[in-house]
């Protein structure tokens, strides 16, 4: 699990988002006691330090580093009042230099990344002096981080609030790419309308049961882990105040009032109502500056928290005034989540994800090429997952989708019937799919499948309880003819065993000529060798030959074995990816015409009826076949390519990396 330190943590808006993305917060630091009371209540497992950051760096940081060995990130929002457009914006404000202590922490920890959050004024204070200093101090001329920064409006990232903040992110390797903005804004009404009911007129504890069902997806998200409303205490306004508020329309301003009120508040954002159809105004610490879009009052702490994207089970401690301040100073958790995800291919490609991929191939009777591509992807990511690992998944997965070429339907039929999500749903319900895998959506497989229901009335896909066959459409084979394994597509096959005599060819062209002239007979096992990764070079598909055999009506009467590969359209008893390949002296290179071969797709075996000594004798006499390519790209490819069982990779993969190229 990746580890981070949260400096100037406040109530933990940043911590919340990173924790949801499987980061472990090893230390949270802040000088504000009330905020830490809230933090500790919501994150009881995290060690907190109620002290000045200077004291933390001096007295505790070394122990934190020693205890955790490697800390991946330092995050935080140094106090920003000195930069705020609401504040004095004085360069000499002592609070403007606390980021230097942040710098000292980063320098000492040397994390993979850091995040600084601040108000928009940070970028142009003193003509950009501070941002330039950060770039120099943390960047290539200083600590060597690649710096990217952006002024972000939270409303563009799923937060129902117009809140502009600067995020400065430094990474050790590849420059951080900010998530793409989403133009689907969430309105104030969508965010808090379920909280708009008559509150206790007298001072209460602010705790209520939900009086109505959630009215929007966002509300359901906020209410997910909560059975009650907390921190929803009414503010008792004077009658005169209520009367004044009532005169301001939905989305209106102080200019809806008589001119005599215009001089009362000089701050230009005072006396405003939220607009029910738009994201709310900025939730700041001056909570009396704006009013509920409909009710004649200021928003409650809970409503402000909702608009900040804090879920309803997040509890705020301290006085009500302090709670408002805590909410206003926080980073929206939803925005923090997006930054924390930092989704990269290698974060998504895991052993479980590869197993899920193999499962869906097997359940659909997919191409044997999956036995090549999935190990190649695994090699790239540094994961052990070879052909026979794929085969194990194939063996335990039921065949559910009745698709061509072996079945009745085409891919469009499957899409119309409910598509891959519905098939994944029944596989998940049957325990064949890992639900905790992260996907490119930013959600887990389980989360993606929530709400998907299997339709038993359609005919294209079966439930896991009623499969077309208990085994997937592709089977792995192993034996003395294929010590490294081979693969066969059994979807649509009537017989799963075959015994016959070898008919050997050293390339596809000669095999094709023999088939076209019908120079073979029923019961033959056609061998096409020297078509593997090295021998091809490049592992061509044998589709033409298999197609010709099937077209002659011999698909079930002969078998075909090759160290090459097949297309997903292959029909008949065809075994591919046999390894070691012929070019490397594998057993397939030692076969002679007439050798008896046994293939059993039920048991997962492929053997030639030769003893170990007979095979050894032939190997001593075997001479490597001279390649047709003595120069150029194909020759170069043949020098580096690995075995088909590992996906025919041309490099050792991530496990041999000295420096991870994806982070260069």
Residues known to be catalytic? 567
- In a 10 Å sphere around its CB, with 0-12 CB exposed, 13-18 middle and 19+ buried, how is residue 41 labelled? middle
CA atoms of 167 and 134, how far apart (whole Å):
12
Q: What is the bridge-based pairing of β-strands 23-30 and 48-50?
A: parallel
Is the preceding omega at residue 610 within 30 degrees of 0, hence cis? no
CA proximity to 46, closest of 22, 25, 74: 25
Q: Which pair of tokens denotes residue 580? A: 């070691």
CA proximity to 241, closest of 255, 226, 257, 230: 257
Is the preceding omega at residue 537 within 30 degrees of 0, hence cis? yes
CA atoms of 223 and 189, how far apart (whole Å):
15
> Taking CA 204 as the corner, what is the angle to CA 199 and CA 207, rounded to the nearest 5 degrees?
70
In contact, 627 and 635? CB cutoff 8 Å: yes
CA atoms of 446 and 532, how far apart (whole Å):
39
Beta bridge partners of 560: 526, 574
In contact, 202 and 317? CB cutoff 8 Å: no
CA proximity to 284, closest of 268, 257, 250, 308: 308
Element (H, E) at 560: strand 559-562
In contact, 279 and 5? CB cutoff 8 Å: no
Count of alpha carbons within 13 angstroms of residue 377, beta-carbon side: 20
Beta bridge partners of 487: 476, 576
- DSSP result, 16-70: HHHHHTTEEEEEEEES-HHHHHHHHHH-TTS-EEES-HHHHHHHTHHHHHHHHS-
Angle formed by the axes of helices 387-396 and 370-381, nearest 10°: 120
β strands within 428-558, DSSP E: 474-479, 482-489, 497-505, 524-528
CA atoms of 394 and 584, how far apart (whole Å):
27
Q: What is the bridge-based pairing of β-strands 290-291 and 272-273?
A: parallel
Is the sign of the CA dihedral 429, 431, 433, 436 positive or negative?
positive
């Amino acid at each position: 699990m990746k580890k981070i330190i949260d400096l100037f943590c406040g109530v933990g808006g940043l911590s919340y988002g990173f924790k949801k993305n499987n980061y472990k917060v090893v230390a949270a630091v802040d000088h504000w006691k009330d905020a830490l009371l809230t933090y500790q209540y919501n994150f009881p497992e995290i060690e907190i330090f109620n002290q000045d950051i200077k004291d933390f760096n001096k007295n505790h940081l070394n122990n934190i580093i020693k205890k955790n060995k490697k800390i991946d990130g330092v995050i935080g929002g140094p106090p920003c009042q000195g930069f705020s457009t609401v504040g004095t914006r004085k360069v000499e404000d002592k609070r403007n230099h606390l980021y230097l202590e942040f710098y000292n922490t980063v320098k000492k920890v040397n994390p993979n990344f850091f995040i600084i959050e601040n108000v928009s004024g940070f970028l142009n204070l003193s003509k950009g002096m501070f941002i330039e200093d950060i770039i120099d101090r943390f960047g290539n001329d200083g600590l060597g981080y690649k710096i990217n920064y952006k002024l972000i409006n939270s409303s563009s990232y799923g937060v129902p609030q117009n809140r502009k903040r600067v995020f400065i992110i430094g990474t050790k390797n590849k420059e951080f790419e900010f998530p793409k903005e989403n133009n689907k804004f969430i309105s104030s009404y969508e965010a808090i309308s379920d909280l708009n009911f008559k509150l206790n007129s007298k001072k209460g504890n602010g705790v209520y049961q939900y009086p109505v069902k959630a009215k929007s997806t966002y509300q359901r998200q906020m209410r997910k882990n909560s059975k009650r409303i907390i921190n929803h205490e009414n503010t008792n306004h004077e009658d005169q105040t209520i009367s004044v508020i009532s005169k301001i329309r939905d989305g209106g301003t102080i200019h809806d009032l008589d001119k005599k009120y215009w001089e009362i508040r000089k701050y230009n954002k005072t006396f405003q109502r939220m607009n029910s159809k738009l994201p709310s105004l900025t939730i700041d610490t001056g909570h009396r500056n704006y009013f509920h879009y409909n009710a004649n009052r200021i928003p409650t702490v809970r409503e402000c928290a909702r608009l900040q994207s804090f879920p309803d089970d997040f509890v705020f401690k301290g006085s009500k005034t302090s709670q408002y301040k805590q909410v206003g100073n926080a980073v929206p958790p939803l925005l923090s989540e997006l930054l924390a995800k930092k989704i990269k291919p290698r974060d998504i490609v895991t052993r479980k994800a590869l197993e899920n991929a193999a499962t869906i191939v097997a359940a659909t009777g997919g191409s044997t090429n999956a036995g090549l591509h999935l190990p190649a992807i695994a090699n790239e990511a540094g994961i052990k997952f070879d052909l026979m690992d794929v085969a194990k998944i194939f063996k335990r997965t039921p065949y559910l989708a009745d698709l061509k070429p072996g079945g009745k339907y085409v891919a469009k039929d499957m899409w119309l019937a409910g598509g891959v999500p519905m098939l994944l749903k029944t596989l998940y319900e049957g325990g064949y799919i890992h639900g905790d895998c992260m996907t490119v959506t930013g959600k887990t497989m389980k989360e993606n499948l929530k709400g998907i229901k299997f339709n038993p009335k359609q005919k294209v896909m079966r439930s896991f309880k009623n499969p077309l066959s208990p085994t997937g459409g592709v089977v792995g084979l192993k034996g003395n003819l294929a010590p490294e394994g081979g693969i066969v597509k059994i979807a649509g096959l009537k017989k799963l065993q075959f015994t016959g005599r070898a008919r050997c060819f050293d390339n596809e062209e000669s095999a094709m000529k023999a088939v076209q002239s019908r120079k073979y007979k029923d019961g033959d096992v056609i061998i096409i060798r020297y078509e593997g990764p090295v021998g091809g070079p490049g592992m061509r598909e044998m589709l033409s030959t298999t197609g010709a055999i099937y077209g002659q009506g011999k698909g079930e009467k002969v078998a075909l074995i090759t160290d090459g590969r097949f297309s997903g359209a292959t029909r008949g008893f065809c075994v591919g990816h046999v390894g070691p390949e012929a070019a490397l002296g594998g057993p397939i290179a030692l076969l002679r015409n007439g050798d008896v071969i046994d293939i059993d797709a039920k048991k997962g075996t492929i053997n030639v009826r030769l003893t170990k000594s007979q095979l050894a004798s032939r190997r001593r006499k075997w001479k490597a076949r001279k390649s047709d390519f003595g120069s150029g790209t194909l020759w170069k490819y043949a020098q580096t390519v690995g075995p088909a069982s590992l996906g025919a990779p041309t490099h050792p993969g991530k496990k041999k990396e000295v420096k991870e190229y994806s982070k260069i």
